[in-house]
Amino acid sequence: MIEHTARSLRGRTALVTGSTGGIGLGIATALAQAGANIVLNGFGNVAEAVATIERFGIEVIHHGADMTKPDQIAAMMGEAASTLGPVDILVNNAGIQYVADTDELPVAKWDEIIAINLSSSFHTMRLAIPVMREQGWGRVMNIASVHGFVGSVGKSAYVAAKHGIIGLTKVAALENAQTGVTVSAVCPGFVLTPLVQRQVDALAQRDSLTQIEAQAKLLGEKQPSGQFVRPEQIGQLAVFLCSDAASEMRGSTLQIDGGWTAQ
């Protein structure tokens, strides 16, 4: 784990969608370590995620809003504000993947991916940003992907949503350019979370490979470093984006991808 001693975010409230595991939990951990109070969201092992964050001695709550449901998103934003105070740092991270060629992608999966990976960020942002503007400070980070820049076969809805979130990031950044609110996109390459583990498993099964061989093959196809990006590295980037040094990073799209998009 990267050490971060300064509690530079003490007194701030950070809401991270999809933060019960994977990249979201890595970001929530880094923000908590930097002193922010945390609103977790997502499914699965909630108690373990809360325990991970609690050890930093800050306030933490979990809200189980389903990111496909605008009314549940609004309820979460309301409860966050009434429990921990206005959201100062919004990290739109919740996302899902489903791999199938476009003509074989179930219609319901298209709708679900667009709802979670794109529309949910519109709903959190439209509710959070006016309050941030009133307070004179705010940070919005949209966890996009290398797939905000490039395509990959079998990922049409995902790639469309990630290109879309980069567009949304730029517009919101411009609309708030003369305020204390910045909006940025973070664009990871492969990170070994459950979302990618499913792709490793599918490759291992399809090509009769061990886990290690399948991981190497997946990375070898796309990520020149041959290494996975780690959630805590993305967490530290999020802490940096909250710093004064980042206050003129507006509409930025930040790749952290082992060289994927440099090719």
For ligand NAD, give the closer residue by CB, 20 or 29.
Answer: 20
Query: If DSSP codes are grouped into helix, strand and coil, which group holds residue 143?
Result: strand
Rounded (5°) CA angle 12-127-62: 55
For ligand NAD, give the closer residue by CB, 5 or 76.
Answer: 76
Q: How far is CA 148 from CA 172, 185, 209, 232, in A?
A: 16, 9, 29, 21
Task: List the strands of the sheet with 89-92, edge to edge.
Answer: 60-63, 37-41, 13-16, 89-92, 138-143, 181-188, 253-256
Q: How far apart are CA 107 and CA 103, in angstroms?
A: 10
For ligand NAD, the binding residues (CB under 6 A) are: 18-24, 41-44, 66-68, 93-96, 116-117, 143, 145, 188, 190-191, 193-196
For residue 43, the minimal CB distance to ligand NAD (Å) is 4
For residue 14, the minimal CB distance to ligand NAD (Å) is 15
Does the active-site annotation cover 158?
Answer: yes
Phi/psi at 16 (5° precision): -120, 115
Task: Please name every residue paired with 41 in a beta bridge, in sequence order, or none if there are none.
Answer: 63
For residue 46, the minimal CB distance to ligand NAD (Å) is 9
For residue 153, the minimal CB distance to ligand NAD (Å) is 16
Task: Please name every residue paired with 143 in a beta bridge, in sequence order, or none if there are none.
Answer: 186
Q: Which helix (H) or strand (E) holds 104?
A: none
For ligand NAD, give the closer residue by CB, 42 or 138.
Answer: 42
For ligand NAD, give the closer residue by CB, 133 or 259.
Answer: 259
Catalytic residue among 56, 110, 158, 228: 158
Q: How far is CA 180 from CA 138, 185, 206, 238, 240, in A?
A: 6, 17, 50, 17, 16
For residue 148, the minimal CB distance to ligand NAD (Å) is 9
For ligand NAD, give the closer residue by CB, 69 or 178.
Answer: 69
Catalytic residues: 158
